[in-house]
Structures are given as structure tokens and as C-alpha cells.
Chain A
């Protein structure tokens, strides 16, 4: 028990240092960009004295370590800075936009993961050459097609021509009021508010962007799981299990599948963390009011308190997802759990 506690403490320390490293790098790199925030905020017509005064009040005259310390202590207390382009605190903007990105990421991941698992099982459990060829082709396309192009194509076919899915109008029809925000996820908030019509509208708006976004993740996960299942199918212990008198399906589902999920787990975590960061291109194509769009605008306008906060939050998201996966590994793979304990 003590050893697993120590294991967890060490993982946590590792995670914290990763976040710290990311914060330092983002801080230093953004300070190295040749621009004067005070000048940007005040505009080209302000005189030098005004700029100097603002600079001082922003703390820019301090040494870099001092600035970093102020930044990081404020960040931990919930003060993520002020976005001068949006005219609001970074925290309120990110929180208001995170829901859109997280919802899209969750749905896309669910799509990609379930499709990858089902198809990989279908093509490896029994030899299905035709389906295998099709699935591999789709996965290959998913990895290769530019997402913005796919998004435009989907809009053109399913929205413009066929009219079955809504066009690029964000998360909900303009004529419908968004639900009261509880979780920030429209599909959940509408259900909580007992608004089935709005729920389906939100779901309908999610369809095309989530499909577009999941395509790449699907290709990645499918190929990984397929090859891992094929490899597992050749494992001697499966033959031994069959020699004990177990049916093919039971051997596959009870022995091959749990083993081949292990490498896929790490990949899934990376895919999901990546989706959480938001996709600029897909969000732009579908006019999705998420984080990706906002961050790119901020980069273009050198609004670096936004960029800095975003990088740090992405690092936190990655680290948290990886911690969760590490925990899952410890449960699923005895070689890791007991290897540490000894």
C-alpha cells in the first residue's frame, strides 16, 4: 500500500514538473517575441510617456523571474490575465468557450474510438478481406485528408446540396436560445433543462464537425488496434488457451482483446488530449465557437496573456489525461503494478 502511494506521489511530482516546464517555456518564448504589449494596447497614436507608464503598471519593467513569479502565482489563484483584444478576463473567455471544444472533443473521440474498436474486431476476428480493405482505405483517407477540406466537402454535400445537416452556424440554430449553462455542454444542459427539441438541435449541429474531426483519430486508432490484434492473434498463449478447450471467440475476447487494448490506451489518451486542445481549422470551417479559433485570433493579435494561458492549460490537460491513463494501466497491466511494488 505504501509503495503504491509512493508510486502515485512520484507520478504526481512528475506531472507537476511537466506543467511547470511548459509554463516556463511558454513564458520565455512569448517574452522573446519582439513586440511591446503596452504599445499594442494603447495603439500607434499614444505618446512614449503613456506607453512607459502602462508598461510599468503591467509589470513589464520587472526582471523576467519576477514577472514569471507574478504570472504563475496569479494563475494558480485563478487570475489568468486580461485579454485586451477581447476586453475581458482570459479566464472568463476560456471558460465560456471551453464547453464548445470539450463537447466536440468528447463526441468526436467517442465516434473514433467505438468505430475503431468495432471495425478492428470485425476484420481481425475472422478473415474478412473485403471489409478489411475498405476499413483500411477509410483509415488511410482519415489520416491523409486535410480536415478543413473534408469539412467543406461535408458541408457542401450534406448541408448545401442534401440539406440534411445544418450549415456552418455554430452549436445551435440561430433561432433557438442556448440552454442555461450548467456544464457548458449543450447536449447535457438541454437534457438537464428538459428541452428535448433543443437537445436534438444541438446534436444535429454536432454531427458534421464531430464526424470531420473524428476521421483522423479513427484512422490512427483503427490502424493501431488492428495491428495489435493481429499480432496478439499469433501469440502462443492464445493457442494454449484454445488447447484447453476454449472457443475461438472466448479466447479472443477474454485473452487477446485485454492484451491488445494496452498499447491502444496510450494512443487514445494522446488523441483525446489533442482533441481537447481544439481544432482551429474544423472550428473555423463550422464557425464553432471553441478555443482553437479564439487562440489563433489571439496569436495573430499578439494577445499573449491568452496564448500563455492556453499553452499552460493544454499542458495541464495532457498531464491529467496521462495521469488517468497511468492509473488505468496500473489496474489493467499487472506487469506494471507489481513491477513497481517489488
Chain B
């Protein structure tokens, strides 16, 4: 028995011993003509069975690159250059693609951000759901896969599932397509679900419905979820813990309540301040974070947020040393030399 098959068969063997997914020191680089883009710069976190972790950050902060790095789907010119990804204790980072194919979709599944583009336009919904089942279902027949696909559609509350199974994606609305994508991801009862902006392409009402559905399904299965988003309102409802990502690094990681109550990192504070809330609508310009994220090809020395930070902009230690993600007063971890000082 090879190492890779042991990893795949290890599911449910030690359910309560440690995290289901543990990422450590993950670094992903993209080689471009301009230079090396450091998209993920040493990210580490652990995910317990059934836990829901949000990774929030603005566009280009490396959230999606992180998700693809975990799944082993980074393609050239990109490359995971360092770090480990442990699934139930086994490092899957250096597995060959053949072994990863048996993990993807079965033990770690992906919900892609844009429901409108996540499905093959020339294949029926049923065949695409069936494909997800048959890839991991051993000798599952087409007929059986179709029956199971109808059940899955019912489960994600697609009306008239028995007829709609033979429809094509363009005959589904955006919300219905996202339900299909969710059904596809959960088809093989994965241990970990990576949901990359699962509701961005949907209108607000549909967002709430789809999120409610996802909430119920992962709760029933005790699936651990990594929710990647820039929408803080979504996180507040859905997740237990939050990791704030900035310029390829996690800058703050703590429980959802603590982050909303008392953010420690100046960037997290600024993010929350920029969040629009109906209970405190103000007049005047919308709050925003001055400046723009640093160029990931030519990162400054020291803290990457320094140029936009009103605490550390002119401080010597912020300019010299990039602060590591460290525990702060048992309230999670923060990567800042001067946490919490920026509160005004």
C-alpha cells in the first residue's frame, strides 16, 4: 500500500484526533514577466471537523490562490513553493496529481465563485452531477448516477428535479445553478468544503436563500467549511472563526464575535469601519481604506500594510520587520507590532 492510498482511506479513522485540515507555511508564487508574484506568503491555519472558517480580504489578497493551493490546482506559471497541507494528519502537498484526483471532490470539494460560469454549457445538469458521482463512485452505473443526481437536486431544493435533471445550465437561473454547484460539491460527502465567494454572482434575496441552504447541508453533514469572501456580512452569519488576509498573509485570526467586537489589526479595523451597516447609516462620503494593496511583485520591507496604516506608517519597527502572526491575550492571533492601538 502506498502512502497516497493510505491518505485517501484514512477518512473517519480518527475523527476526534486533531484538525481535519491543517495548513502550515504555505507559499505560492506565480512567475510572470514582471517578476515573481508572491500570491500566498506563508499561510497557516487549522480547521477542526465541522468548523467554519472565513477567509476575508480584498481582491488580489491571495484568497483564491490559497484555495487552489490547498486543492493542488495551481497551474504553471504558478507553483506552491513551500509549506504543508495536512488532511487528517497526512501531508497531501506533494502528492502526484493522480492521487490528488481521488482527494479532490471526495474529501475536499470546491464551490466556485461564479455560478453562471461554473457549469459546462453543453452538458446537461444531470450528466455533470453524475460525473461528480461516477468519478468517485467506483462502478456506479449511469442509471444509478442519474437517480442519485435527482436525489441531490431534490436535496438542494431544485423544483421538479426529475425533469430538470435533463436540462442544460442556460435553462437554470443563477440561484438554481449555484444550488447545482453546491449539490455537485457535496455529492461525495467531503470532509472539507472550500467555498470561494459562493454567492457573489447572485442578487441579495437569492444570496440569503442559497446561504441558508448551504448552512443546513453542511450542518447536517458536519462538513468543515472554508468560506472565502470579501463580504463581511456573510461571514457574520455563517462562520465560527475568521482569518483576515492581506497581501498574501493572514494578518488576524480569531473568532467571529471577537473580530466584530474588538478587531486588533489596523487592517481588520479599517475593513470593519468600511462595512456599511443599516444601524448606523451616516451622511458624507462612504468610509474607505486610503491607498491600495502593495504590488506583490515588489513587496516593501517590513509590514505590507505599513503604507496604509495610520499607526505604523512612520514607525521604525514596522518598516524593518514584517510582524509574524502571534497569539495576543488568548484572543486569537494578530500579525502586528502594535495591535489594537489604532482604535479611535
Q: Is B112 within 8 A of A334, CB to CB?
A: no
A225-273 interface with B by 8 A CB criterion? 235-237, 239-248, 255, 258-259, 262
Q: Is the CB of A338 closer than 8 A to any CB of chain B?
A: yes
Contact pick for A242, options B73, B106, B185, CB 8 Å: B73
Q: Is B168 within 8 A of A334, CB to CB?
A: yes
Q: Is A241 within 8 A of B120, CB to CB?
A: yes
Given the interface contacts A239-B73, A240-B110, does A245 sit within 8 Å of B123 by beta carbon? no
Tell me how far the C-beta of A335 lies from the nearest C-beta in chain B, rounded to whole angstroms: 5
Q: Is the CB of A127 closer than 8 A to any CB of chain B?
A: yes
Given the interface contacts A236-B117, A255-B120, does A127 sit within 8 Å of B76 by beta carbon? yes
| Residue in chain B with minimal CB distance to A235 | B117
Q: What A residues does B171 contact at CB under 8 A? A: 338
| Residue in chain A with minimal CB distance to B135 | A245
Q: Is the CB of A53 closer than 8 A to any CB of chain B?
A: no
Q: Is A259 within 8 A of B135, CB to CB?
A: no
**How many Å lie between the Cα of A127 and that of B104 in the bound state?**
24
B232-263 interface with A by 8 A CB criterion? none
Contact pick for B135, options A239, A246, A338, CB 8 Å: A246
Most chain-B Cβ atoms within 10 A of its Cβ — which of A235, A242, A248, A335? A242
Q: Size band of the B side of the interface?
A: 35 or more
Q: What B residues does A333 contact at CB under 8 A? A: 122
**How many Å lie between the Cα of A262 and that of B121 in the bound state?**
12
Q: What B residues does A243 contact at CB under 8 A? A: 71, 73, 104-105, 109-110, 112, 185
Q: Is A245 within 8 A of B101, CB to CB?
A: yes
Tell me how far the C-beta of B164 lies from the nearest C-beta in chain A, rounded to whole angstroms: 13
Indicate with 1 or 0, residue by residue over B103-115, a CB within 8 angstroms of chain A CB atoms: 1111001101110
Q: Is B118 within 8 A of A237, CB to CB?
A: yes
Tell me how far the C-beta of B149 lies from the nearest C-beta in chain A, rounded to whole angstroms: 13
Contact pick for B104, options A236, A245, A335, A338, CB 8 Å: A245
Q: What B residues does A240 contact at CB under 8 A? A: 110, 112, 118-119, 181, 184
Q: Is B76 within 8 A of A236, CB to CB?
A: no
Q: Is the CB of B132 closer than 8 A to any CB of chain A?
A: yes
Q: Is the CB of B338 closer than 8 A to any CB of chain A?
A: no
Q: Is the CB of A332 closer than 8 A to any CB of chain B?
A: yes
Tell me how far the C-beta of B201 lies from the nearest C-beta in chain A, rounded to whole angstroms: 10
Q: How many residues in A have their beta carbons less than 8 Å from beta carbons of B?
A: 24
Tell me how far the C-beta of A331 lies from the nearest C-beta in chain B, rounded to whole angstroms: 11
Q: What A residues does B104 contact at CB under 8 A? A: 242-245
Q: Is B132 within 8 A of A244, CB to CB?
A: yes
A-B contact count (CB 8 A): 80
Q: Is the CB of B102 closer than 8 A to any CB of chain A?
A: yes
Tell me how far the C-beta of A199 lies from the nearest C-beta in chain B, rounded to whole angstroms: 40
Indicate with 1 or 0, residue by residue over B294-311, a CB within 8 angstroms of chain A CB atoms: 000000000000000000
Q: What A residues does B221 contact at CB under 8 A? A: none
Given the interface contacts A127-B76, A237-B117, A245-B101, does A334 sit within 8 Å of B170 by beta carbon? yes
Contact pick for B119, options A237, A246, A335, A338, CB 8 Å: A237
Tell me how far the C-beta of A250 lies from the nearest C-beta in chain B, rounded to whole angstroms: 9
Q: What A residues does B170 contact at CB under 8 A? A: 334-335, 338-339
Tell me how far the C-beta of B165 lies from the nearest C-beta in chain A, rounded to whole angstroms: 14
**How many Å lie between the Cα of A247 and that of B101 in the bound state?**
6
Q: What B residues does A248 contact at CB under 8 A? A: 97
Q: Is the CB of B136 closer than 8 A to any CB of chain A?
A: yes
Indicate with 1 or 0, residue by residue over A41-65, a CB within 8 angstroms of chain B CB atoms: 0000000000000000000000000
Most chain-B Cβ atoms within 10 A of its Cβ — which of A242, A244, A333, A339? A244
Tell me how far the C-beta of B118 lies from the nearest C-beta in chain A, rounded to whole angstroms: 5
**How many Å lie between the Cα of A338 and that of B168 in the bound state?**
9
| Residue in chain B with minimal CB distance to A258 | B122
Q: What A residues does B120 contact at CB under 8 A? A: 237, 241, 255, 259
Tell me how far the C-beta of A186 lies from the nearest C-beta in chain B, rounded to whole angstroms: 39
**How many Å lie between the Cα of A324 and that of B97 in the bound state?**
41
Closest 5 CB pairs of A and B: A245-B105, A243-B110, A244-B105, A236-B117, A334-B168
| Inter-chain pairs besides A243-B112, A245-B101, A245-B132, 10 sampled, C-beta below 8 Å | A237-B117, A237-B119, A240-B118, A240-B181, A241-B120, A242-B73, A243-B104, A246-B101, A246-B105, A246-B131
Can you show 25 pairs from A to B with CB atoms below 8 A apart? Answer: A127-B76, A236-B113, A236-B114, A236-B117, A237-B117, A239-B110, A240-B110, A240-B112, A240-B118, A240-B181, A240-B184, A242-B104, A243-B110, A244-B184, A245-B132, A245-B135, A245-B136, A246-B101, A246-B105, A247-B97, A247-B98, A248-B97, A258-B122, A259-B122, A335-B170
